[in-house]
Amino acid sequence: MSSILILGAIVMLLLGVVFGYIASGAGVKITSDAPKPKRKTAAKKAPTKRKTAAKKKDDLKKISGVGPGIEKKLHKMGVTTYRQIANWKAADINKADVALNFKGRIKRENWVKQAKTLASGGQTEFSKRQK
C-alpha cells in the first residue's frame, strides 16, 4: 500500500513539474512574421543650455548656533537660504530639530527670527560679530 502512495506522489510531482513548465511558457518562442523595423539613427543634437537660475546660497553660519558642520547638514537637507529658514513653520522646525538631533535648540536660539532679519538684508547681533 505504501509503495502505491510513493508511486502516486512521484507521478504527481512529475506532472506538476511538466505542467508548471508548460504554464510558464518556457521554451516557447513566439515569433512574428512581420519584419522588424529598422532603427533610425538620430542626428546628434547640440546640447541645449538649460535656463536655470543659479540658486544663491546664503552664509547660514551668520545664524547663531549654525557652524560649518550644521551648515553642511542643512545643505544636505536642501536648506541653503535665509528665506527658507525664515518661512519655517512649527512642523518644519520639528523636522529639522529631529534631523539635526537638536532637542529644541532651533526654537531656543530663534533661528527663524534671525533668518527673517538676515533675509531682509538686516543684521543680527551675532552676524555683526562674524567676519
Q: How many CB atoms within 10 Å of residue 98?
A: 10
Of 7-11, 38-42, 62-66, 81-85, the range with the lowest mean pLDDT is 38-42
130: CB partners within 8 A, 6+ apart: 59, 61, 62
Q: Tell me, what's the pLDDT at 107?
A: 94
Predicted confidence band of residue 131 (pLDDT cuts 50, 70, 90): low
Residues 6+ apart with CB under 8 A from 44: none
pLDDT at 21 over 90: no
What burial letters (b/e) apply to 36-72, b meaning 16+ CB within 10 Å?
eeeeeeeeeeeeeeeeeeeeeebebebbeebeeebbe
pTM of the model: 0.57
Q: What is the distance between the terminal CA atoms of the chain, rounded to a whole angstrom? A: 95
* 84 in Cβ contact with 70 (< 8 Å): no
